[in-house]
Amino acid sequence: MTHEGLIDLASARLGGRALLASDEFFAPKENLLAPGRGVFIEGKYTDRGKWMDGWETRRRRGPEGGYDWCLIRLGVPGAISAITVDTNHFRGNHPAACSLDAAMLTGSLGGRQLRALDRAFTEVLPRSPLAGHTENEFKVQSGSRYTHVRLKIYPDGGVARLRVWGEARPDWRRIGATRRAIDLVAVEHGGLPLSTSDQFFSEPLNLIMPGRPRDMGDGWETRRRRGPGHDWVVLWLGRRGVIERVELDTTHFKGNFPESASLEGCDVRGGAPPRPPPGEDAGWRELVPRAGLRANARHRLAVAQAARVPVTHVRLNIFPDGGVARLRLWGKIVDGV
């Protein structure tokens, strides 16, 4: 199953957090949202049993029909399209089945309040069988906006990772009311990479993730170009807006940063994913002319007044190749769009 045009709404990198669980005797709930698929270390044990890189509950001994659950706050509110329940390395101890509930909750809620909100949850994935040591993929048909999900496993067992694939749905009414410049391309504001010339070493989604880059792997890096041309990435803004300032961050890229970069934009209505990205006939215009870059540095570039026009997409060009850690596009949303 492809997740093109979707992000992991529950990702810990976006602020996703496992809040509560019915049981986590063998392995903690926080592992569910960790990066990667988890590892298996032969011979590693704790005082409770075999160490496992996931969430694992004790064996259920009560009446039949029971289940364990984990409540998760999404890092970014959004509409859910698919989920991955990864039982990697869980073979004889994986659950027989799972289901997923979702809710739209507001305010800061404590553990007792969250436990009492059962009626607020809607089932978005009915009980479905799970295979062990497998990335179990499920489609979800729901266009509603959610902030929390609850994974149920039947009757017990272990899950390595949970991915909640969907489309970010920011609260634009609240954001727009501030009238302040925001990062228009940020993941949390609905930004998304649509296409790129190359992503051999790392994917362009890293460009618009929150926070500072952790290391060189936390950015977008292309292979070494041996012929003519340059590399590029097209990104969709979460909301049509006017870009005023640009930040290009090459932190951690020291011997492999681009020599220079430029930024273009276009205004294409109805071009939201999963529609194809704009082509060369989309009316691209230069927002920031080609400028030299330095190693391991944050470059702040102003957009000329004449180039401050509404855009829906941008194209970052890097010459000739290399790595960029973050791209920030500070500007204001255009009302009524």
At 214 the pLDDT is 96
**Distance between CA atoms of residues 67 and 121, nearest Å:** 16
Same domain? 61 vs 185: no
At 274 the pLDDT is 63
Same domain? 56 vs 189: no
Tell me whether residue 90 is in a domain. Answer: yes
Same domain? 329 vs 206: yes
Helix (H) or strand (E) holding 176: helix 172-177
Same domain? 162 vs 183: no
Dump the DSSP string for 295-313: TT-EEEEEPPGGG--EEEE
At 142 the pLDDT is 83
Same domain? 207 vs 235: yes
Range of the domain at 248: 175-333
At 157 the pLDDT is 98
| CATH code of 54's domain | 2.60.120.260
Tell me whether residue 102 is in a domain. Answer: yes
Give, as one character, the DSSP assignment of residue 27.
B
**Distance between CA atoms of residues 76 and 201, nearest Å:** 26
Asked if 292 and 259 count as a contact pair (C-beta separation under 8 A), the reply is yes
Place of tokens 């298996």: 40
Same domain? 328 vs 225: yes
At 335 the pLDDT is 67
Per-residue tokens: 201? 């070493």
Place of tokens 């049509």: 240
Tell me whether residue 2 is in a domain. Answer: no
Low-confidence residues in the chain, pLDDT < 50: 337
Domain end call among 168, 197, 226 = 168
Q: Which residues pair with residue 135 across a beta bridge? A: 86
Cα–Cα distances in angstroms (integers) from residue 76 to residues 20, 154, 320, in the given order: 18, 27, 34
Same domain? 284 vs 241: yes
Same domain? 127 vs 207: no
Tell me whether residue 1 is in a domain. Answer: no
Q: Which residues pair with residue 20 across a beta bridge? A: 71
**Distance between CA atoms of residues 175 and 241, nearest Å:** 13
Cα–Cα distances in angstroms (integers) from residue 47 to residues 70, 224, 330, in the given order: 23, 49, 51
Q: Where are the beta strands (DSSP E) in 179-309?
A: 182-183, 192-196, 220-221, 231-249, 260-266, 285-292, 298-302
Domain end call among 168, 197, 227 = 168
Digit-coded pLDDT (tens) for 69-108 = 999 999 999 999 999 999 999 999 999 999 999 999 987 7
Q: How many CA atoms lie within 13 A of 327 on its CB side?
A: 33
Same domain? 121 vs 188: no
Domain end call among 128, 144, 168 = 168
SS (H, E, C) 67-116: CEEEEEEEEEEEEEEEEEEECCCCCCCCCCEEEEEEECCCCCCCHHHHHC
Same domain? 158 vs 296: no
Asked if 188 and 168 count as a contact pair (C-beta separation under 8 A), the reply is yes
At 141 the pLDDT is 84
Same domain? 156 vs 179: no
Of the candidates 234, 197, 237, the one whose C-alpha atom is nearest the C-alpha of residue 322 is 197
Number of domains in the chain: 2
Tell me whether residue 269 is in a domain. Answer: yes
Entry pTM: 0.91
**Distance between CA atoms of residues 124 and 81, nearest Å:** 10
**Distance between CA atoms of residues 124 and 7, nearest Å:** 18
